[in-house]
Amino acid sequence: MAVQLVPSPDYYGAQGVLHLRALQQNLTAALADKDWKKVHRLDQCCAPLIEKVVAANDDKCIELLNALTDLKDAYWGLIQSCQKEAAAMVV
């Protein structure tokens, strides 16, 4: 068995946006499935990913702004779902 080095992901431009979109889609799917462990893992990845993408795109990039806005909307859905789950537990 040989050891292979994996190149670092590219976070610039369209590639960075694709990483954010994939996180958003995976987060939305995990939320829909109520897979809270997966939601937790994705949430832990979110801030570091955003930092890497923003750092790689120090120029103004409208695609990046749109991807971040959509990710923010996915988090809003997560918050609403968690509030509903918490309210259901109280009743």
Count the domains in the chain.
1
Structure tokens at 83: 């509030």
Coil/strand/helix, residue 25: helix
User: Is residue 2 a part of any domain in this protein?
Assistant: no
What would the mean pLDDT of 63-81 be, rounded to a whole number? 89
User: Is residue 3 a part of any domain in this protein?
Assistant: no
Q: How confident is the model at residue 60 (pLDDT cuts 50, 70, 90)?
A: low
User: Is residue 67 a part of any domain in this protein?
Assistant: yes
Question: Measuring CA to CA, which residue among 14, 27, 30 is closest to residue 73?
Answer: 27
**DSSP class of residue 11?**
-
User: Is residue 8 a part of any domain in this protein?
Assistant: no
pLDDT (tens digit per residue) in 13-54: 889 989 999 999 999 999 999 999 999 999 999 989 998 998
Q: What percent of the chain has pLDDT over 70?
A: 97
User: Is residue 5 a part of any domain in this protein?
Assistant: no
User: Is residue 36 a part of any domain in this protein?
Assistant: yes
User: Is residue 50 a part of any domain in this protein?
Assistant: yes
Q: Which domain holds residue 73?
A: 13-90
